[in-house]
């Protein structure tokens, strides 16, 4: 038993899930208009209604199955979700005439939802409609200057609404507010890495049975952990590591040593030439991802024909990958992931994606339990298309060589300075321009490399890392000295949003 989050199209719905999991709670996202039978099948201990862009005053506004409101389940409505509760239960919602967006402050708050809080509470607002009168029997539980009913509570002490977003980091004490709701609803805190691993092993065994599984290993923590999971589940598998020539320095050798020593049935395929051939002349980022995805599948199909038959193609697809590729209700496409949106429709395999509902840090914990070496488990995320999407413009062997060496300099410097574990991801990007410089008293036109370092929890949002100026100065000096083709180093200080972490 956990929490069902009904998604009404909010940009923050998946942050709700993230916060719940941080609190040890299992959470499932369903479309906001899901029938009661589908909601009840999850055996939820509570339900959260997400925010959304619609107005409850519109006749075609999305609404939950009315049987939910008479189910007796504890319910928390957030933003649009609170307005739904007020509107459907006899309260009054009006168009406020202006949109309230950004930070605000609770002038007052009371009741069990705010238990343990004291002093100033900042909240994040994003709404244009407002609740001016709670439903009969309900009472206001918080207010701001612009929003007299910023929270409301039902007489049963288990159902609540908040006009603000407790799931975002901009709301101080947001996690405590969610935790209070879970306590009042009696939701068990039984989600932990050991339980996740046990569930994954059982699911793989049940689905795969005696069939054979083909797995693409990219060298990142996700696919490496998946290889170990298949081995732990006793699935007959072949893990294929495709050296597409787009890897980081020393990556092939490191992966081979680690996985073979842990019982993974691994085959390495050297495909550098064929990937460079299909990427020739390709400059569009989405086309790069599609081309690489197609070529990966072709390699797998060839391996399958040689060593088959295989029923399943296993992939280390994660929850953020699915979200960014528009794999969830109400989500807009941000970029195609080669293992989500870039695969051809006729695969010839059934997809097996055990990590599809996990975040990166959850996979790292599963990896720890499975014994993945720390240098792989804590390695920074690396895109499936590899260095191809860190070269802006056409991918060539010369550009790959330059970028690989520059990136290795950055990573070594981070490790030496004790900063590698302080950032979520750090890498170099090779730009499609050359800049003038001076080398040995002569003019020199060299490549421009951008340094990208971010801090994050799950990759859904990220802030640029404030690395010490002295460190940045040292890295720029090392790159231009050790990689003479590079004449200039610049720093990317854009957060996500508005940017993505990768450049392409």
- CA distances 26 to 49, 201, 225, Å, are 16, 17, 21
Catalytic residue among 79, 147, 159, 428: 79
249 tagged catalytic: no
For residues 126 and 220, what is the distance between their CA atoms, to the nearest angstrom?
37
Catalytic residue among 14, 127, 165, 338: 165
Q: What is the DSSP letter of 67?
A: G
Token pair, residue 16, equals 């709700």
Q: Are strands 236-243 and 212-217 parallel, antiparallel or unpaired?
A: parallel
For residues 301 and 293, what is the distance between their CA atoms, to the nearest angstrom?
12
CA 283 to chain centre: 26
Catalytic residue among 14, 127, 159, 167: 167
275, 386 contact by CB (below 8 A): no
Q: Are strands 236-243 and 151-153 parallel, antiparallel or unpaired?
A: unpaired
Q: Residue 340 CB: number of other CB atoms within 10 A?
A: 24
Helices 221-232 and 193-208 meet at what angle, rounded to 10? 60
167 tagged catalytic: yes
For residues 12 and 35, what is the distance between their CA atoms, to the nearest angstrom?
22
Q: Residue 105 CB: number of other CB atoms within 10 A?
A: 12
Helices 360-370 and 193-208 meet at what angle, rounded to 10? 80
Q: What secondary structure, in 3-state letters, does 447-476 show?
A: EEEEEEEEECCCCCCEEECCCCHHHHHHHH
Going by C-beta distance under 8 Å and a sequence separation of 6 or more, which residues neighbour residue 57?
87, 93, 94, 95, 129
394 tagged catalytic: no
For residues 23 and 497, what is the distance between their CA atoms, to the nearest angstrom?
25
Closest CA to 339 of 305, 274, 292: 292
Sheet holding 151-153, edge to edge: 27-31, 3-7, 46-49, 75-78, 160-162, 151-153, 139-143, 108-109
Active site residues: 79, 165, 167
């Amino acid at each position: 038993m956990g929490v069902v989050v009904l998604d009404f199209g909010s940009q923050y719905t998946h942050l709700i899930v993230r916060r719940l999991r941080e609190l040890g709670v299992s959470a499932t996202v369903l479309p906001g208009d899901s029938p009661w039978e589908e909601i009840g099948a999850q055996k939820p201990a509570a339900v959260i209604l997400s925010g959304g862009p619609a107005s409850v005053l519109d006749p075609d506004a999305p609404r939950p199955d009315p049987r939910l409101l008479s189910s007796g389940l504890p319910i928390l409505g957030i933003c649009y979700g609170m307005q739904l509760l007020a509107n459907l239960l006899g309260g009054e919602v009006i168009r406020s005439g202006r949109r309230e967006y950004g930070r605000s402050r609770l002038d007052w708050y009371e009741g069990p939802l705010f238990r343990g809080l004291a002093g100033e509470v900042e909240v994040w607002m994003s709404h244009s409609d407002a609740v001016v009168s709670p439903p009969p029997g309900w009472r206001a539980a918080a207010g701001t200057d612009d929003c007299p009913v910023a929270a409301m509570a039902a007489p049963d002490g288990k159902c609540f609404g908040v006009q603000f977003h407790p799931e975002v980091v901009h709301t101080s004490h947001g996690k405590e507010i969610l935790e209070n709701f879970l306590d009042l609803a009696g939701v068990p805190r039984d989600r932990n890495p050991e339980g996740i691993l046990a569930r994954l092993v059982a699911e793989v065994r049940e689905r795969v049975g005696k069939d054979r599984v083909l797995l693409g290993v990219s060298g990142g923590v996700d696919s490496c952990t998946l290889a170990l999971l298949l081995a732990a589940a006793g699935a007959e598998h072949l893990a294929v590591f495709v050296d597409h020539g787009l890897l980081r320095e020393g990556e092939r050798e490191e992966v081979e040593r680690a996985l073979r020593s842990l019982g993974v049935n691994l085959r390495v395929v050297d495909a550098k030439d064929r990937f460079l051939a299909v990427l020739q002349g390709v400059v569009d980022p989405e086309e790069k991802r599609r081309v690489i995805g197609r070529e990966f599948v072709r390699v797998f199909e060839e391996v399958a024909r040689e060593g088959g038959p295989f029923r399943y193609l296993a992939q280390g697809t994660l929850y953020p990958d699915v979200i960014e590729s528009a794999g969830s209700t109400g989500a807009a496409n941000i970029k195609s992931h080669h293992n989500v949106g870039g695969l051809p429709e006729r695969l010839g395999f059934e997809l097996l994606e055990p990590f599809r509902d996990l975040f990166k840090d959850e996979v790292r914990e599963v990896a720890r339990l499975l014994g993945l070496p720390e240098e792989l488990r804590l390695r920074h995320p690396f895109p499936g298309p590899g260095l191809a999407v860190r070269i802006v413009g056409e991918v060539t062997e010369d550009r790959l060589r330059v970028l690989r060496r520059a990136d290795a300099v950055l990573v070594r410097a981070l490790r030496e300075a004790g900063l590698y574990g302080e950032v979520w991801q750090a890498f170099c990007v090779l730009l499609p321009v050359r800049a003038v410089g001076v080398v040995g008293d002569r003019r020199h036109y060299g490549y421009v490399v951008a340094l990208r370092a971010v801090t994050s929890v799950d990759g859904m949002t990220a802030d640029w890392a404030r690395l010490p100026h002295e460190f940045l100065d040292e890295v720029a000096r090392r790159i231009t000295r050790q990689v003479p083709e590079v004449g200039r180093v610049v720093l990317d200080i854009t957060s996500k949003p508005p940017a993505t972490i990768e450049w392409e």
